[in-house]
Amino acid sequence: MINELIIRPFPRIGGDLEIKVSLDDSKVVDSYCSGTAFRGFENLLKGKSVMDCLGFVCRICGVCGVSHSIAASKAMKKIFGVKVPQNGYLCKNISLATEIVLNQLGHFYLLFAPDLTDKRYSCHPLYPEVAKRFSALSGTSYKHFIHARRKLLVIMGLFAGKWPNTLAVHPGGVTKTLNKSELIRCLGSLVEFRNFLEQNLLGCDIDDWLEKKNLKDIESLCSQNNYHSDLGIFAKFGKEIGLPLLGKSTGKFLCYSGYENAQGKSLYKSGFYNSAIYPLEVEKITEEQSFSFFEGEKAHPFEGFTEPFVEKKKAYSWVKSPRYSGEVVEVGPLSRMVINEDSLISDLFEKMGSNVYSRVLARLHEAIFLTSKIGEWLKRVNPNKPFYNKVGNIKRSKGEGLIEAARGALGHWIKVEKGYVKNYQIITPSSWNFSPRDSLGVPGILEQTLIGTTLKEPTEPLEIFHIVRSYDPCFFCSVHVSKVRKRK
Tell me what pLDDT residue 212 has: 87
The kind and range of the H/E element at 140 are helix 140-160
Give every CB contact of residue 257 below 8 A, 6+ residues apart in sequence. Answer: 266, 268, 269, 270, 402, 403, 404
Q: What is the pLDDT of residue 477?
A: 67
Instruction: Look at residues 421, 423, 458 and name the one whose alpha carbon lies nearest to residue 303.
Output: 423
Residue 241 CA from chain centroid, whole number: 25
Sketch out the chain's domains with CATH numbers: 2-478 (1.10.645.10)
Calpha distance 192→204 (Å, rounded): 15
Q: What pLDDT shows up at residue 482?
A: 44
pTM: 0.95
pLDDT digits (tens, 9 = 90+) for 215-224: 898 888 878 7
Which pLDDT score is estimated for 1?
A: 63
- Asked if residue 285 lies in contact with residue 272, where contact means CB atoms within 8 angstroms, the answer is no
Average pLDDT, the chain: 94
Which amino acid appears at position 220 of this protein?
Answer: S
**If you average pLDDT over residues 6-22, what whole number do you get?**
91
Buried b (16+ CB within 10 A) or exposed e, 174-201: bebbbeeebbeebeebbeebbebbbebb
Is the pLDDT reported for residue 479 higher than 60? no
Predicted local confidence at residue 38, as pLDDT: 83
Write out the H or E segment, with its range, that includes residue 448. helix 445-450
pLDDT greater than 70 at residue 119: yes
How far is it, in rounded angstroms, from Cα 73 to Cα 55?
A: 11
pLDDT-derived band at 434 (thresholds 50, 70, 90) equals very high
Task: Note the pLDDT tens digit of each residue in 235-257.
Answer: 999 999 999 999 999 999 999 99
CA 456 to chain centre: 29
DSSP state of 302: G
DSSP-based three-state secondary structure for 420: strand
Q: What is the largest CA-CA distance in the chain?
A: 71
**Considering the chain, what percentage of its residues have pLDDT values greater than 90?**
87
Answer whether 478's CB lies under 8 Å from 319's CB.
yes
Rounded CA-CA distance 191/244 in Å is 33
pLDDT at 484 over 60: no
pLDDT value at residue 223: 82
pLDDT tens, position by position, 374-417: 999 999 999 999 999 999 999 999 999 999 999 999 999 999 99
End-to-end CA distance of the chain: 43
From the list 329, 335, 348, the residue with the least C-alpha distance to 244 is 348
